[in-house]
Homo-oligomer: A and B are copies of this chain.
C-alpha cells in the first residue's frame, strides 16, 4: 500500500514539517528514509504516531493507481498485500481507506501480513527491497525516493509504467 497505492511519503514529510520544521528537498530524500534525516526523538514520535493507526486513514492516493488497477483487474487477479503487522493497530484504518479509495477490490483480496515471503502470487509490485527479496515470485520494484539507488530489476516508475509492464506480461497492449 504505502508508496505504491497510498502516498505515505507526502503525508510523512508534511507531518515532519508541521511538527518539527523539517523542509527536506527531494534530493535529500534520494536513497534515504525520513528516519535517516530526522533527529532520533522526532523519529520516535513519528513511530508512536504510526502505531496509533490513524495516520494511515487519510493518506492521499498515488496518482493513477485507481484507474490502472481497475484496468489490470480485467487481466489479473489483483490482491492488495500490505505489511500491516509492523503497525498492527493500523489494520482498521487501512481497511477503511481501501474501502473508500479502492471499493472495486474485494476485501477477500486484501492481505495484512508481516513477512511477504508468505504470499503465493506471480508478481509483487513493491517499493521495499526487503519485501521483494523475501517474495517467491517475480518482484517488481515500484520506484520511490528511498529506493532510487537500490539495485533491482525489473523496476517501474509510476502507474503508467507499472500498467504497461503488466499488460506486456499478459501479452496485451495498454488500451
Contacts and interface: CB of A to CB of B under 8 A. Distances in A.
Interface residues of A, number: 26
Interface stretch (A6-14, A21-29, A112-120): A112-120
Interface in A80-131: 81, 84-86, 88-89, 91-92, 95, 106-115, 117-121
Contacts of A107: 85-86, 88, 114
Contact of A106 (B92, B112, B114, B118): B114
Interface in A103-161: 106-115, 117-121, 136
Interface of A: 79, 81, 84-86, 88-89, 91-92, 95, 106-115, 117-121, 136
19 contacts: A81-B118, A84-B112, A85-B107, A88-B95, A91-B92, A91-B95, A92-B92, A107-B114, A108-B113, A108-B115, A109-B114, A109-B115, A111-B112, A111-B118, A112-B113, A113-B113, A118-B119, A119-B119, A120-B136
